[in-house]
A and B are shown apart, each in its own frame.
Chain A
Amino acid sequence: MSKLITNRRGVLRGGAALGAGLAMPTIFTASSAAAFTNDPTGSTVTLGFNVPQSGPYADEGADELRAYELAVEHLNGGGDGGMMNTFSSKVLDGTGIMGKKVEYVTGDTQTKSDAARASARSMIEKDGAVMITGGSSSGVAIAVQGLCQEAGVIFMAGLTHSNDTTGKDKKANGFRHFFNGYMSAAALAPVLAARYGTDRTAYHLTADYTWGWTQEESIAAATEAMGWNTVEKVRTPLASTDFSSYIAPVLNSGADVLVLNHYGGNMVNSLTNAVQFGLREKVVNGKNFEIVVPLYSRLMARGAGANVKGIFGSTNWHWSLTDEGSQAFVRSFGTKYGFPPSQAAHTVYCQTLLYADAVQRAGSFNPCAVAEALEGYDFDGLGNGPTHYRAGDHQCFKDVLVVKGKENPENEFDLLEIVEITPRAQVEYAVDHPMFAGGELGACNGG
C-alpha cells in the first residue's frame, strides 16, 4: 500500500544519514570532573524537598513543607533555633551547612512514583540539589530512593512506614528516621492484648500497596503470637473513597476486632464507614467489637472527628510529648504557623537537621562521606529520646508511642493521648529478619 520506492542511491544516502545520526552522540560521552554529583561550589547549597502537594496525602505533604521551611530557617540562623538547641550534636551553628547558606527547591510528587521521580530528577539535574528528601507514601519513597541511588545523591526519607523502605528495597544512599510497620506491631500488640484479651479474632482491611501489605503482615504476626486469630485479610484499592462494601462482610465473619491498615484519607473514610455501620456497639463472641488503626496521625484524627475516640494505634511522635526537644520544636513551629506540628512535620525536620549535622561532621557533601557519618550514629534531643541510626539497613531505632483517640479533647489539636511509650529494645529486630530480607544495601554511590 505505502509506496516505498527504494533505489541504490536512496538506500546509500539513508544509510549514511542514519550512521551519522548514530555516531554523533558518541562525542558527548565525556563525564564531568567533579568527584560527586552536584558538589556545591558556590556560597550556597541546594536541598530538594519533594512532597505530595496533591493527591490523598496532600495534607501531610503541606505540613512537611512547613517543617522543611522551618528547618532551613533554623539552619541559616533564623528563628529561635528550634531543636538545634536541644540536639545532642552541637556542630551546627546557624551559619548554614559548612558555612554555605541553605537554599531549597520544592516539587510535587502527586503521590505517584513517576511524577515523584520526574520531580526529583529535575531537582538533581536542573537545580543542582545535593540531597533529596520527602515522600508521603512508601511507594513513592521507595521509587525516589532508587533514583537517588542511581543519581548519586543522598535520600532522607520522610513519612514512609513500609517495612520495605529499609527492608527489601533498602539502598545505600537512603536513610529513614520514621518508624515502620514491624515496630508499630511490636509496640501495639502487647497493649492490645492487655486491653482486649488474648482470645480475639481479627479482620484486616488493607490498603493495597507495599505499606499496607507489610503492615498487615507485621500486625498479623505480632497479634497471632499473642494468641489472636486472623480470620480474613481484605485488600482495598488505594484510590477508594467508600468502604461500605468492605465493611458489611466484617459483620458476618465472626471477627471481633477490625484492623484498618489504612492511612490518610483512606483511614478517615473507612473508619467513618465502620462507625456508621454500628461496629463499635456490636457484641461478638460475648466481647465488645473493637477497631484498631495501627498507624495514627493527628491530621487523620482531625479528619475522622469523634469517630476516633478510644481507638488504639501507634505514632512516631506527638506534639504533647514533654521532653525538651519536642517542646522546643512545638514552640517554634507554633510561633511560625499558629498550630502544633504533625508527626510528618517532625520526622522531616529531624531528617533535615540530621543531614546537615552529618555533612558538618563529615566535613564534606560527598554522599559517601555523609552516609558514613550517619551510619551507626547515636543522638538524642530530637524528641524521641536516645536514637540510633543502624548501619546495616539505615533505619532509625527509637521509642514508639502507643496512642488512643482522646475521649474528651480540650481543643481541636488535642485529639490523641499517649497510652504508653514503648522502649526501643522492645521494637528492635535483626537486619536479616524475614520481614526485611530479600534486598541488599549495595555500595554508596557518589555519582
Chain B
Amino acid sequence: MLGLNQRDTKFLIIVIALTVFTPILLQPFPTDSGLAQFNAGYPDLMQRFAIFGIFAIGFNILFGLTGYLSFGHAAFLGVGSYSTVWMFKLLNYNVLPGLVLAIIVSGLFALLIGFVSLRRSGIYFSILTLAFAQMSFNLAYSVLTPITNGETGLQVYNDDPQILMGENGITTTHFFGFKMNSSWIMDLGPWQFTFNFGYYFCAVIAILAFYLSLRIFRSPFGLMLRAVKSNQQRMNYTGVSSRPYTLAAFVISGMYAGLAGGLLASMDPLAGAERMQWTASGEVVLMTILGGAGTMMGPVLGAGFIKYFENIFSKINDQVLHGWFAFLPDGLENALVWLLHPFVGKGWHLTLGLLFMLVVVFLPGGLVELGQRIRNMFRKKPDANDDSNHKPQQSPHVAE
C-alpha cells in the first residue's frame, strides 16, 4: 500500500497505532498514585515528542544515510520558529501559512549553508555547520534584534498588524478554527487521559514526515545516499558526482528541521534565540545516536527518551524523594535522598549522560539494537526473512 512493500506497510501501521494511542500509553499510572510523577501524557510533552521526532527523522536523512554529521541543525529549527511567529504577527493565528513559510525559508537557508559546507566532508563539514549555526545564534541574539527580539524572544503583541484577524478572531494558535490548546479529558476510574488537538495535529504531520522519510530510505535516491556513506571516493571515481545528492539530502533535512521549528512555535507562539544554540544542535545528534542512527524508528525513540528525561526527571526534587522514602527510618531516608539527589532535579543531565555512555558502549546500534536483542532472545530459530531493509546491516559504528 502507498508504494510500500508489505513489511513497511506493517511497520507504518504500527507507528500510526502507537502515535494515536500515545495519550494512553504515556499515562500508565493512576493520577493520584505516587508514581503519577512518571506519567508523561500531558499535551506539552506529547507535542514535544512528536515535534522532536520530526526533527530527528529529518536529521537522520542526512546523518543516517550520507554519514555527514551536521552540528548546526538547530539553526534551521530556529529559522522555522521565527518564520512562523512572524506569520502570526502579520497575518493571524492560523498555523498553516506559518508552517509553509517555515519550510520554505529553512529550505533556502539550508541550500545556502549546504552549498558552502558540503564542499568539505568529515570533521570539516561538522565544524562549518557548527560555525554557521553559532553565527545565526549570535545574529539572532544581538544584531538582528529588530527581527528576532533578542533574548526576550519573538512574541505576538496585541498591537501587531495581524491583518487577517477579524473583529472576534481567535487569539490562540489554531488550524482553521481548531485550537491547538483544546483538549478532551477522559476520566477512566483513577486514570485521566488528555487528548489534545495540538498533539494530534503534530502527530499527523509526524506520520506524514515519517512516511516521506520511509519512501526516501527505500528509493534509488536513498540508495545513492547510502553509497555516499559507504565510499564516496569510489563513487567519484566511477564518474558520479555526489554533491547534488548530498546537497538535496541536506536541504530536505533542513526543511524537516524548519517544519519542526514551525510546529514548536505553533504549539507555543514564542521563538527564542536559544533554540539555535549549539547545545540544541548537539541534542539532535544525541537523539539520533541514542536511538540508533540510520534506522527509521531510532531517532524518534531517542527524541522521546531525551525529552522525557528533560521534563520528568528534572522535576523530581528533594521533597518528592522524601515522599518516596518516607516509610524508611529517618537516617536511612536522608541517606538515600542524599545519594539520589545529584541524579534527579537539576542533575538530570548527569543521569542522561550516564545512560548515553552505557548505550554507546554496550549498544552501539542504540535503543533499536536493544529492542532487537530482546526480540532475538525470545525467538528460537534464526529468522528466515531477516529484517535487512530496516537498517544498514552490520554497519560500522555510527560515530565513524
Q: Which A residues form the contact surface with B (CB < 8 A)?
A: 1-5, 10, 13-14, 17, 21-22, 24-32, 53-54, 104-108, 112-115, 117-119, 121-122, 125-126, 138-139, 142-143, 146-147, 150-151, 164, 169, 208-210, 235, 237-238, 438-440, 442
Q: Whole-angstrom distance between the alpha carbons of A73 and B201 in the complex?
A: 42
A32–B184 alpha-carbon span in the complex (Å): 7
B121 within 8 A of A: no
B232 surroundings in chain A (CB, below 8 A): none
Report the nearest B residue to A65, measured CB to CB: B317
Q: By the criterion CB–CB under 8 Å, are B141 and A4 in contact?
A: no
B157 at the interface (CB under 8 A from A): yes
User: Closest residue of chain A to B219, judged by CB?
Assistant: A2
What 6 A-B pairs have minimum CB-CB distances, sorted nearest first?
Answer: A209-B151, A2-B219, A53-B346, A113-B272, A25-B200, A126-B42
* Contact status of A164 and B158, CB under 8 A, knowing A125-B42, A126-B42, A143-B270: no
User: Out of A28, A107, A108, A114, which one reaches B183, CB within 8 Å?
Assistant: A28
Instruction: State how many angstroms separate the Cβ of B253 from the closest Cβ of chain A.
Output: 15
CB distance from A436 to the nearest CB of B (A): 14
A21-B204, A30-B184, A139-B151 known; A122 vs B315 contact (CB < 8 Å): yes
Cross-interface CB contact of A147 among B2, B158, B182, B268, cutoff 8 Å:
B268
Among B45, B151, B178, B182, point to the contact of A238 (Cβ < 8 A).
B151
Most buried by A among B201, B269, B314: B314
| Whole-angstrom CA separation of A2 from B196 in the bound complex | 35
Binding site for A on B (CB under 8 A): 1-3, 39, 42-45, 48, 138, 141-142, 150-153, 155, 157-159, 172, 178-179, 181-185, 194-197, 200-201, 204, 207, 215-216, 219-222, 224, 268-270, 272, 274-275, 310-311, 314-315, 317, 319, 345-346
Interchain CB contact under 8 A, A26 and B178: yes
Tell me which residues across on chain A come within 8 A of B155, comparing CB atoms: 143, 146, 169
A2-B220, A208-B142 are known contacts. Are A164 and B204 too (CB-CB below 8 A)?
no
| CB closest residue in chain B, given A151 | B181
Known: A25-B204, A164-B152, A237-B141. 4 other contacts (CB 8 A): A21-B204, A25-B201, A54-B346, A122-B44
Q: A1-B220, A30-B184, A139-B152 are in contact. Are A108 and B345 (CB under 8 A)?
A: yes
Alpha-carbon gap, A417 to B165, bound state (A): 54
CA of A105 to CA of B317 in the docked complex: distance in angstroms? 8
Q: Which residues of B contact A139 (CB under 8 A)?
A: 150-153
How close is A255's CB to chain B, nearest CB, in angstroms? 23
User: Which residue of chain A has the shortest Cβ distance to B314 in the bound complex?
Assistant: A108
Residues of A within 8 A of B270 (CB): 113-114, 117, 143, 146-147
- Residues in chain A near residue B346, CB distance under 8 A: 53-54, 108
Q: A25-B197, A29-B182, A143-B272 are in contact. Are A1 and B224 (CB under 8 A)?
A: yes
For B184, list chain A residues within 8 Å (CB). 27-30
Q: A13 — which chain B residues lie within 8 A by C-beta?
A: 1-2
User: Which one, A106, A235, A237, contacts B315 given CB within 8 A?
Assistant: A106
Distance (Å) between the CB of B346 and the closest chain A CB? 4
A106 in contact with B153 (CB, 8 Å) = no
B158 close to A210 (CB less than 8 A): no
Q: Name A210's contact: one of B44, B150, B222 (CB within 8 Å).
A: B150
Contact of A114 among B3, B179, B201, B275 (CB under 8 A): B275
Residues from chain A with Cβ under 8 Å of B272 in the complex: 112-114, 143
Given the known interface contacts A26-B178, A117-B270, the answer about A105 and B315 at a Cβ–Cβ threshold of 8 Å is yes
| Among candidates B152, B195, B275, B319, residue contacting A209 with C-beta atoms closer than 8 Å | B152
Chain A residue nearest to B274 (CB atoms) is A112
**Chain B residues near A5 (CB, 8 Å)?**
3
CB contacts (< 8 Å) of B158 on chain A: these are 439-440, 442
Of B39, B152, B182, B274, which one neighbours A169 at CB under 8 angstroms?
B152
Asked if residues B42 and A122 are in contact (CB atoms below 8 Å), the reply is: yes
B212 and chain A: residue at smallest CB distance = A2
Chain A residues near B274 (CB-CB < 8 A):
112-115
Residues in A with CB closer than 8 Å to B200 are 24-25, 28
The answer on a CB contact under 8 Å between B314 and A143 is no
- The distance from the CB of A277 to the nearest CB of chain B, in whole angstroms, is 25
Taking a contact as CB atoms closer than 8 A, the residue among A2, A31, A113 that contacts B182 in the complex is: A31
Minimum CB distance partner of B185 in chain A: A32
Q: Tell me, in angstroms, the Cα distance from A104 to B150 when the chains sit together.
A: 32
CA–CA, A409 and B214, complex, Å: 68
**Across the interface, do B151 and A106 meet the contact criterion of CB distance under 8 Å?**
no
Q: Could you list some 25 contacts between A and B, CB below 8 A? A: A10-B1, A10-B3, A28-B196, A29-B178, A29-B182, A32-B183, A104-B319, A106-B315, A108-B345, A108-B346, A118-B311, A119-B314, A125-B43, A126-B42, A126-B44, A139-B153, A142-B153, A143-B152, A143-B270, A146-B155, A208-B141, A208-B142, A208-B150, A208-B151, A442-B158
Which B residues touch A3, using CB under 8 A?
219-220
Is there an interface contact between A2 and B150, defined as CB atoms closer than 8 Å? no
Find out whether the CB atom of A143 lies under 8 angstroms from the CB atom of B142. no
Most buried by A among B42, B48, B142, B152: B152
Q: Report Cα–Cα, A432/B285, bound state, in Å.
A: 48
Contact A210 B151 (CB under 8 A): yes
A333 to B185, CA, bound (A): 42
Which residues in A have their C-beta under 8 angstroms from that of B319?
A: 104, 106
For the complex formed, measure the closest distance between the CB of B312 and the CB atoms of chain A, giving whole angstroms: 8
Contacts of B269 in A (CB 8 A): 150
Whether A237 contacts B197 in the complex (CB less than 8 A), given A105-B315, A210-B150, comes out as no
Distance, CA A118 to CA B270, complexed state (A): 11
CB-contact partner of B204 in A22, A108, A238, under 8 A: A22
Nearest-Cβ distance from residue A215 to partner chain B, whole angstroms: 14
Q: Assuming the A-B contacts A107-B315, A113-B274, A237-B141, are A25 and B151 also in contact, with contact meaning beta carbons closer than 8 angstroms in the complex?
A: no
Chain A residues closer than 8 Å to B42, beta-carbon distance? 122, 125-126
Closest B residue to A106 by CB, please name it: B317
Residues from chain B with a CB closer than 8 A to the CB of A238 are 151
Closest to B20 in A: A24
Structural contact, B182 and A122, CB atoms closer than 8 A: no
Nearest CB in chain A: distance from B124 CB, A: 26
B159 proximity list for chain A (CB < 8 A): 438-440
| Chain A: minimal CB distance from B331 (Å) | 21
Please, which residues of chain A bring their CB within 8 A of the CB of B221? 1-2
Question: Are the CB atoms of B195 and A28 closer together than 8 Å?
Answer: yes
Q: State how many angstroms separate the Cβ of A103 from the closest Cβ of chain B.
A: 9
A157 smallest CB distance to B (angstroms):
14
* Cβ distance A117 to chain B, nearest Cβ, rounded Å: 6
Measured CB to CB, the closest approach of chain B to A21, in angstroms, equals: 5
